[in-house]
Amino acid sequence: MHLDHSHHGPAAVGADARRADGSRRALRIGLGGPVGSGKTATVAALCRALRDELSLAVVTNDIYTREDAEFLLREAVLPPERITAVETGACPHTAIRDDISANLEAVEDLEDEVGPLDLILVESGGDNLTATFSKGLVDAQVFVIDVAGGDDIPRKGGPGVTTADLLVVNKTDLAPYVGSDLARMAADAKAQRAELPVVFQSLRGEAGVADVAAWVRARIAAWTA
């Protein structure tokens, strides 16, 4: 890899922790997971929880352009110039894993235009259980599943469930209605992930996104240490 910054012009490699001017770039956290599991709702809640303490921006990767970005705009979780939508050519996992160039442009443009930033959240378009982010794009990834998608998803595993830095099991408020066994989901997740953390959350409940926000704060502290 070519990591030499003595050349002029933009940096060649997006994973470098330093920007071309030598300053530290924003921490980038990816949020992936199946369609409708609550990625955008989690991003929105995180923005509300963290925007007073951190300089934030969001990149969305919709299957259909701008749906998620427009939701975030409607909810006014951040000023519009802090939200960017990337188009993924019907293939959301390609844009976050195999060919990350459009996403790297998006995060770098955000830092240039509204920076300095502490944190950029990159939401993947809803995909399948094998979709994970490239380490060239994000520093940490959250995989969001929900209780309504079936309580056997943690048992099935797959790269997202098994290797994500944080697994979020969302919509716990719906568990009684869909017959999902939360204790079993927790045991299966533990078996798949060993020591990697798991959060059970309901964005409809009082605590909301608090546990995930606390995890993000810890990552930020480690990044800036």
Ligand X SMILES: Nc1nc2c(ncn2[C@@H]2O[C@H](COP(=O)(O)OP(=O)(O)OP(=O)(O)O)[C@@H](O)[C@H]2O)c(=O)[nH]1
Binding interface with ligand X (CB under 6 A): 33, 35-41, 68, 126, 170-171, 173-174, 202-204
Size of residue set near Mg ion by CB under 5 A: 3
Instruction: Give the single-character DSSP code of 96.
Output: I
Residue 81 or 173 with smaller CB distance to ligand X: 173
What DSSP state is assigned to residue 14? T
Going across the sheet that includes 119-123, the strands are: 83-87, 56-62, 119-123, 27-32, 140-146, 166-170, 198-200
Tell me the residue nearest to Mg ion as measured from the CB. 40
User: How far, in Å, are 4, 85, 141, 185, 186 from residue 198 at the CA level?
Assistant: 38, 28, 12, 10, 8
Helices 39-50, 210-224: axis angle to 10 degrees equals: 60
x/- binding map, residues 56-95, to Mg ion, per CB under 5 A? ------------x---------------------------
53-72 positions binding other proteins, by CB under 8 A: 63-67
The one among 54, 73, 102, 148 contacting other proteins by CB under 8 A: 102
Where along the sequence are the contacts to other proteins (CB under 8 A)? 1-2, 4, 7-10, 12-14, 63-67, 86-91, 94-95, 98-102, 104-105
